[in-house]
C-alpha cells in the first residue's frame, strides 16, 4: 500500500481491522463530500463575514490546517475531528485564493471547479477500467517524482529568500503548473487504489476519514494548479 500521498502512508503501518465496522466505498464518498462541503461553507463565511479579520484568520488557518492534516494522517482514530478541522481551515484559504483570482480574472473560479470535477471523473474512469494500473513500479516512480518535487520547491524557497527566482517568466510558470497538474491528476489513481485496498482488506471504518482527507488534499492541489494555469493563460491572452 505504498503511496506518494503522505496522507495515506500511515495506512501501511496499521493492521487494525474490524469485522463488524469495516470501510466501504459509500462511507468514503460521503465523508469526502462532507469535507468538501465544509470547506466551501467555511470559505464562503470567511469571505463574506470576517472583513478586516480575514487575513489574520487566513494565516492562522494555514497553520491549523497543516497541523490538522498531519494529525489525521498519523492517527487514524483522530482523523474524523482533525479532518473536519482541516476542511474548515482549508476552506478559508481556498475561499481567499478563489476571490483573489476571480476578481483579477473573472470566470476562472467556476472554470477551475468544473475542470477539477472533470479530471476527477476521468481519472476515476481510467482507474476503474484498468486503463491505468497501479503497480509497485508505478508507485516507486510516483514516490521518486514526489520527492524530487519537494526538493525542487525547498531549493526554490531558499533561493527566493535571496531574490533569486528560477521561474522568471509566464511561459516557464505555465509549463511548471501544467506539469504539476498532470502529476496531481495521476496521483488520484494512487488515492483510488488505496481506497480500494482499504475496502477490500476490510479495514476499520475509521480509515474512511483518512481516505477522505487524502482525496481532498489531492483535489485541492488540482484546483489550485488549475486556477494558476487559467490565470496565466488569461493574462497572456489579454
DSSP-derived secondary structure letter, 132: S
**Which residue's entry shows cell 487559467?**
230
Angle CA 139–140–146, to nearest 5: 90
DSSP-derived secondary structure letter, 17: B
Please report the pLDDT score of residue 188 as a whole number: 93
Q: How far apart are CA 196 and CA 53, in angstroms?
A: 42
Please identify every stretch of the chain with a pLDDT value under 70, giving residue numbers as ranges: 1-20, 156-157, 159-169, 238
Q: How far apart are CA 12 and CA 14, in angstroms?
A: 6
φ/ψ of 22, rounded to 5, equals -105, 160
φ/ψ of 50, rounded to 5, equals -85, -30
DSSP-derived secondary structure letter, 53: G
Q: How far apart are CA 155 and CA 150, in angstroms?
A: 9
Please report the pLDDT score of residue 5 as a whole number: 57
Domain boundaries, the chain: 20-237
Amino acid at each position: 500500500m505504498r503511496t506518494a500521498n503522505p496522507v495515506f502512508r500511515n495506512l501501511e503501518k496499521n493492521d487494525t481491522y474490524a469485522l463488524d465496522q469495516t470501510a466501504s466505498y459509500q462511507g468514503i464518498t460521503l465523508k469526502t463530500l462532507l469535507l468538501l462541503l465544509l470547506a466551501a461553507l467555511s470559505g464562503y463565511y470567511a469571505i463574506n463575514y470576517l472583513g478586516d479579520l480575514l487575513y489574520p484568520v487566513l494565516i492562522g488557518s494555514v497553520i491549523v490546517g497543516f497541523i490538522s492534516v498531519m494529525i489525521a494522517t498519523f492517527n487514524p482514530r483522530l482523523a474524523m475531528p482533525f479532518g473536519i478541522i482541516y476542511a474548515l481551515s482549508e476552506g478559508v484559504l481556498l475561499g481567499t485564493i478563489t476571490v483573489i483570482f476571480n476578481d483579477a480574472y473573472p470566470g476562472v473560479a467556476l472554470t477551475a471547479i468544473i475542470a477539477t470535477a472533470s479530471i476527477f471523473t476521468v481519472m476515476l474512469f481510467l482507474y476503474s477500467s484498468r486503463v491505468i494500473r497501479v503497480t509497485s513500479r508505478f508507485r516507486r516512480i510516483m514516490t521518486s517524482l514526489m520527492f524530487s518535487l519537494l526538493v525542487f520547491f525547498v531549493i526554490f524557497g531558499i533561493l527566493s529568500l535571496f531574490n533569486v527566482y528560477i521561474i522568471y517568466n509566464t511561459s516557464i510558470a505555465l509549463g511548471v503548473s501544467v506539469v504539476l497538474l498532470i502529476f496531481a491528476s495521476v496521483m488520484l489513481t494512487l488515492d483510488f487504489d488505496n481506497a480500494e485496498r482499504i475496502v477490500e482488506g476490510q479495514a476499520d471504518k475509521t480509515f474512511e476519514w483518512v481516505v477522505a482527507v487524502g482525496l481532498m488534499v489531492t483535489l485541492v492541489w488540482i484546483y489550485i494548479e488549475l486556477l494558476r494555469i487559467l490565470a496565466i493563460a488569461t493574462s497572456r491572452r489579454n
